[in-house]
Amino acid sequence: MSVVMEKGIKEKFRMSGYTLTSQRRAVLEALKASKGHPSAEDVYLLVKKKNPRVALGTVYQALSVLEEIGVIDSKHWSESPTRYDLNLEEHLDIRCRRCGQVSEVPNVGLGDLESDIRRNTPYEVTRTMLVVEGVCPGCRGKEPAAR
């Protein structure tokens, strides 16, 4: 299975002091395999296929370590569990309110927004993110359903 783990990832583990355990590796593999924006539950289901003994809590813990050391990112829409992403580039993701699928929206940037904000609030701004929802082509016309 498991393709060689990229150098950068090993490096990030080394720098952080965390160890690259088999569970953490499995979570990363699952993330790759899913080729999308899976939830912790999705990852858990995938990981369990290879190793039925992993616990959901372990997956959460692994995801949080991976995010902490900068190997993955997470995004959150209300009314949906947090989604995880291997794509570390700053980019926009849109979530289908019917089926929950998350897809990337290319060529959209925040432009001057960040600086506009900083100029208009006494807060020290630490995070600015665009949350976008819609209906995916596959769900158009269909009944409102789950997720």
Q: Which residues are near Zn ion by CB under 5 A?
A: 96, 98-99, 101, 136, 139
Q: Report d(CA 29, CA 104) in Å as an integer.
A: 20
Name which of 2 and 115 has its Cβ closer to a copy of itself.
115
Q: Which among Mn ion, DNA, a copy of itself, none contacts residue 122 (Cβ within 5 to 8 A by kind)?
A: a copy of itself
Q: Rule CB under 8 A: which of 116-145 touch a copy of itself?
A: 116-117, 120-137, 140
What pairing do the DSSP bridges indicate for beta strands 73-75 and 83-85? antiparallel
Name which of 41 and 116 has its Cβ closer to DNA.
41
Q: Which among Zn ion, Mn ion, a copy of itself, none contacts residue 92 (Cβ within 5 to 8 A by kind)?
A: a copy of itself
Question: Could you tell me if 87 and 130 are in contact, meaning their C-beta atoms sit under 8 angstroms apart?
Answer: no
Name which of 15 and 145 has its Cβ closer to a copy of itself.
145
Name which of 25 and 91 has its Cβ closer to DNA.
25
Question: Could you tell me if 107 and 89 are in contact, meaning their C-beta atoms sit under 8 angstroms apart?
Answer: no
Angle CA(68)–CA(89)–CA(3) in degrees, nearest 5?
A: 70
DSSP state, 136?
-
Site string for a copy of itself, 58-87 (x = CB under 8 A): ------------------x-x---x-----
Q: Report d(CA 147, CA 143) in Å as an integer.
A: 13
